[in-house]
């Protein structure tokens, strides 16, 4: 079911199933300008209880002002404290959700483990050309920007995906205005900023997490993730072939199996 709550002065929308105490609970954290619905195929599992947040400025958690990654991190920390203070939690994040997942892993003692899907990481801004491309994807200004951003999520975009991208791109003026209003600071000063990225490097030095990502991801380069693993060689990386940044869509079975492994063993 969908519920609303006020946390840290944000009115948020979140999805929660009837909690069964004999099953572990998984908190799903979506990526940049996305919504809880990105995980919908993973809900209603026989293995776990599902909980998922719409971050402020995303989905049905409407917000009209500037946002920072810290807003998301603090919100997740408080959401867990408020709703699951006495229950162990597993976190599954996609893309930008990794910053909040690892922050919760560090600060919430009942977070047992995180599975990071195609995670935002501290190397994302190291390549100048990639930064320029990502800036146009995250803060699109034109029809072409939005179309390219959407289709680039997929390794092999179908005609259905291309048609959806075209319909979305028609509203480029509205999308552009909303993105700038909510996310200009976050994109320019955090996501695509080397200094900020260096500040979150310590979060990746933790041990209770693993990574799964597509080999063909155009948003989170696989070579960056390989370097993250070299820097933290106790972390596991599973690479999905023929899969882009829409990891749950194109690599659904791999992701589902990884979650099952995590829950059965208590970690990955």
**52-81 pLDDT per residue, tens:** 999 999 999 999 899 999 999 999 999 999
Range of the domain at 103: 2-122+199-265
**Could you tell me the end-to-end alpha-carbon distance of the chain, in angstroms, rounded to an integer?**
29
> Which structure tokens are listed for 32?
């940049």
| CB of 52 closer than 8 Å to CB of 1 | no
For the chain, give percent helix, strand, coil, nearest 5: 45, 20, 35
- CATH number for position 62: 3.40.50.1820
Supply the pLDDT for residue 264.
87
- Answer whether residue 25 is part of any domain: yes
- Answer whether residue 160 is part of any domain: no
DSSP codes joined into one string, 48-113: -EEEEEE-TTBTTB---S---HHHHHHHHHHHHHHHHTTS-EEEEEETTHHHHHHHHHHH-TTEEE
- Answer whether residue 225 is part of any domain: yes
- Answer whether residue 14 is part of any domain: yes
Q: When comparing pLDDT for 172 and 68, which is higher?
A: 68
- Answer whether residue 237 is part of any domain: yes
Indicate the pTM of the whole model.
0.97
The mean pLDDT of the chain is 97
- Answer whether residue 12 is part of any domain: yes
For the chain, the domain total comes to 1
Backbone phi and psi for residue 61, each to the nearest 5 degrees, phi listed first: -95, 75
pLDDT of 268 above 50: no
- Answer whether residue 150 is part of any domain: no
Bridge partners, 16 (sequence order): 51
Supply the pLDDT for residue 267.
56
Percent of the chain with pLDDT over 70: 99
> Which structure tokens are listed for 212?
């799964």
- Answer whether residue 191 is part of any domain: no
Q: What angle do CA 185, 61, 100 make, to 5 degrees?
A: 60
């Amino acid at each position: 079911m969908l519920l609303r709550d006020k946390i840290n002065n944000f009115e948020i929308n979140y999805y929660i199933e009837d909690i069964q105490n004999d099953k572990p609970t998984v908190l799903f954290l979506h990526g940049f300008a996305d919504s809880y619905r990105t995980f919908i195929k993973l809900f209603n599992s026989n293995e776990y209880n599902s909980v998922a947040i719409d971050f402020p400025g995303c989905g049905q958690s409407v917000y009209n002002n500037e946002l920072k990654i810290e807003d998301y991190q603090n919100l997740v920390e408080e959401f867990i404290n408020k709703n699951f203070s006495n229950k162990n939690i597993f976190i599954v994040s996609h893309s930008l959700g990794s910053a909040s997942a690892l922050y919760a892993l560090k600060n919430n003692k009942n977070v047992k483990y995180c599975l990071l899907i195609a995670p935002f990481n501290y190397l994302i801004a190291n390549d100048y050309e990639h930064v320029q491309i990502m800036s146009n994807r995250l803060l699109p200004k034109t029809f072409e920007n939005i179309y390219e951003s959407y289709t680039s999520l997929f390794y092999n975009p179908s005609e259905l995906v291309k048609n959806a991208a075209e319909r979305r791109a028609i509203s480029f003026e509205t999308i552009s205005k909303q993105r700038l209003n909510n996310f200009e600071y976050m994109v320019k000063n955090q996501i695509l900023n080397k200094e900020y990225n260096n500040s979150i490097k310590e979060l990746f030095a933790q041990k209770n997490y693993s990574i799964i990502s597509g080999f063909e991801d155009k948003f989170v380069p696989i070579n960056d993730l390989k370097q993250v693993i070299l820097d933290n060689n106790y972390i596991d990386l599973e690479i999905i072939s023929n899969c882009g940044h829409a990891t749950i869509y194109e690599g659904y079975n791999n992701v589902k199996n990884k979650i099952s492994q995590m829950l059965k063993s208590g970690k990955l």
